[in-house]
Chains A and B, each alone.
Chain A
Amino acid sequence: MRYLTDRKRAERKGASGTGTEHQWYMQVSAVALAFLVPTFLIVFGRALGGTRDQVIATFANPWVAILTGMVLFVSMQHFHRGARMMIEDYTHGSTRKGLIMLAISVAYTVIAMGAYALVKIAV
């Protein structure tokens, strides 16, 4: 039996130990993405279907490169936290841990691939 009362368990950072950190990060990244994504969709959509030279010319533009980098970084941070919520709702134990690690790995792989591409196109 635990001698802690519900009140005591909810004090400070609560049962998760991280307080409202997750909720706050999702709000901040959501607002950031709300500003970044519409422009990025137009730029990406127009580049798609072009020749390689046209694609390189588009992403060689400094502002497009910075926008793309920010969209990829912020969206992948937002993604792995959101995916974790889903994984934690439906799975348990080692499966849960493995899938969370996979989601984070996918997120950082996408960031790394995007960073490599943008740097290679820029230089």
Chain B
Amino acid sequence: MTTKKGNAMAEAQGPTRPLSPHLQIYRWQMTMVSSILTRITGNALIVGVVLGVWWLMAAAIGPGYFNFVNAIATSWFGDLVFTLSAWAVWYHYLAGLRHLYFDAGHGLDVATAEKLGWACVIGSVVLTVITLIIV
């Protein structure tokens, strides 16, 4: 409402409750970052799974089709998808263990929850590097 009359109307019925937080200036916290990353990694993993299962199906079907899909799966694009998927699966893995720990009623105080968030982020990078070395 931009008119004076409109403002008066709005003020008359104006909310006394707090308004929504401004997301642009909202302070990022470990607990929210770790939660958002859990959702993003979990859902994004479908990309790697689809590429992987398509590649396996191509191997089952025949040499010509395998060459076509294998070229995609082992290209820079495939390497990018599978490397990011390796990190995503390890992050989601550790975050999932953390959720099981939370669900059992442990580690819910802020200090511990923040430490566990950092453990997931750092641990997932370490496990990804180890995985890439092994395979």
Interface residue ranges of B30-63 to A (CB < 8 Å):
39, 42-43, 45-46, 49-50, 52-57, 59-61, 63
Closest A residue, CB atoms, query B99: A30
Closest B residue, CB atoms, query A40: B89
Contact check, A41 vs B86: say whether CB atoms are below 8 A apart.
Answer: yes
B97 at the interface (CB under 8 A from A): yes
User: Among B56, B70, B100, B131, which residue has its beta carbon within 8 angstroms of that of A41?
Assistant: B131
B23 at the interface (CB under 8 A from A): no
Number of A residues, CB within 8 Å of B: 35
Residues of the A chain whose Cβ atoms lie less than 8 Å from the Cβ of B82:
45, 48
Measured between alpha carbons, how far is A117 from B82 in the docked complex, in Å?
Answer: 20
Measured between alpha carbons, how far is A56 from B59 in the docked complex, in Å?
Answer: 7
Contact check, A120 vs B60: say whether CB atoms are below 8 A apart.
Answer: yes
Contact check, B61 vs A120: say whether CB atoms are below 8 A apart.
Answer: yes
The A contact surface, by secondary structure, is: helix
Contact check, B56 vs A45: say whether CB atoms are below 8 A apart.
Answer: no
A2 at the interface (CB under 8 A from B): no
Contact check, A31 vs B100: say whether CB atoms are below 8 A apart.
Answer: yes
B interface list, Cβ under 8 A from A? 39, 42-43, 45-46, 49-50, 52-57, 59-61, 63, 66-67, 70, 73-74, 82, 86, 89, 93, 96-97, 99-100, 103, 131-132, 134-135
